[in-house]
Every structure is written in structure tokens, then in C-alpha cells.
Copies of this chain bind each other. A is one copy, B any other.
């Protein structure tokens, strides 16, 4: 059935974005049609899962044939709300903030920083980049009234992050991408994602530590593959691909 009202797994949305990106690269390469197996392989996903992910939203393929690349691309854009351009405010003009501002990828995808805020005295009022002035965070609500903001990106120290989030929400913004190492509390209508460097690194060290200590959490299941060498980088044999680095951030 098309476009069910069933609960859509959060992970599905994330994968949709990944399919989207891969489809774009197929598009650029001039590929017209793609099968669920190919698309799944290119994004490290199970083919049935890909089909199920799409099935939450409709029927986009042709049986016996596959998916039309440009059509599916358009449809995923529609689902995710891409296609239009989104205004973002950067909160925090430090190292990370500045790097994000200069990150080309964002504008290519329709994400544009239109306002920058900080509260550190020596930053406020300065031009952080040619043509981009840093405003005091107190002006957020006022400026957001004239320049509508869809999303806010928090890149301040942990100690200030919650306070910034509250300010952002009070200004009527209801999407937040948080780079500060702190788990924010936001009311239910606000969409929130965390980018948490050290937490991700910690999961890596855990993996490395257990490998050393117990000798291969990994190898347990895959011991039979020992003879299968992986000497040809670029295309690891399928059974050696690491599907295990799942990640959850609340």
C-alpha cells in the first residue's frame, strides 16, 4: 500500500538521505535505471531494507526493471523536504563554526547560513568572513523576525549549549543541529540532532580495546573468512564489509 500512515522508523529517514546522495552520484554518471540490489550495495544496506524503506512512502519502482534514477531522486527530495532552500543560523563563531560556514557542501544541498551569532565580546560586530557579520545572540529573536530562520546550528562550548538552545526555541526556530558536547533538552515539537565527536571516538576506542583484550569480538562470527584475503582495496569482498557501526544519539 502506498504512503502508509504507519510509524516510520527514524533510521529509515536517515537512510533515505543516504540513498538520495548515492542517486545523485548515479545521476551525474549518467545512469538511468538502478535496481534495489545495486542501490543497496552502493549504500551498504540490505536490498530488502531499501525496498521496505521506500514502501513506507509509496511505490516508486517498476517490477522486473528497477528504479528510474532521476524520478526516484525527485521523489526522495520531495519526501525529505529538499528541493527548497533552507535558512540556517550559526550560533557560535569559533573554530568549528567558522569551518562550517566555509563548508561548500551545505550550499550545494540547499542549506544556507544567513545569520551568525555569538556572545563573546571580541567576536561580536566583527566580520568573521567577508560580508558576514557576527551578531550578538541577544539579537537573534529580533533578526529572525525579518530573516526567517529554519534551522539553527549550535557550535558553542558545552556549558552554554542548553542556554543557546532555549534562546533559539524562543525565537521560534524548531530545528537544531548541535555540535556542542552536551545532550540538549528541547520541547517535543523541536527536531534535534547531535554531532558528538568525542562520543563517536569513544565508541571507536571501545571497539579497539575489546579487540585487543578479548581478541576479536569481530572475528568470532567471521572466523571462516580468514582465508579470504582483502588485498584488493576499493572493493572489499561483501562478507567483509563492516555493517556493525550502528549509532544512536538521543
Contacts and interface: CB of A to CB of B under 8 A. Distances in A.
B82 A205 contact: yes
Interface in A1-37: 10-11, 13-18, 20-22
A2 B244 CA distance: 24
B200 A195 contact: yes
B246 A201 contact: no
Contact of A208 (B81, B206, B236): B81
Interface in A142-189: 150-151, 162-163, 166-167, 169-170, 174-177, 181-183, 185-189
Interface in A205-250: 205-211, 216, 218-219, 222, 225, 230, 233-236, 239-250
A43 B203 contact: no
Interface stretch (A100-108, A114-122, A130-138): A100-108
A185 B240 CA distance: 9
A182 B222 CA distance: 25
Contacts of A96: 99, 103
Nearest to A111: B201
A191 interface: yes
A44 B13 CA distance: 22
A247 to B, nearest CB: 5
Contact of A86 (B15, B44, B82, B205): B205
A109 B200 CA distance: 12
Contacts of A79: 206
Contacts of A38: none
B209 A175 contact: no
Interface of A: 10-11, 13-18, 20-22, 43-45, 79-82, 86, 95-96, 98-100, 102-103, 105-106, 109, 111, 150-151, 162-163, 166-167, 169-170, 174-177, 181-183, 185-211, 216, 218-219, 222, 225, 230, 233-236, 239-250
Given A18-B196, A189-B218, 9 more contacts: A18-B183, A81-B210, A109-B198, A150-B208, A166-B233, A175-B204, A188-B219, A192-B245, A246-B248
**Sorted from nearest, which 4 A-B pairs have the closest CB atoms?**
A81-B209, A166-B233, A99-B99, A191-B207
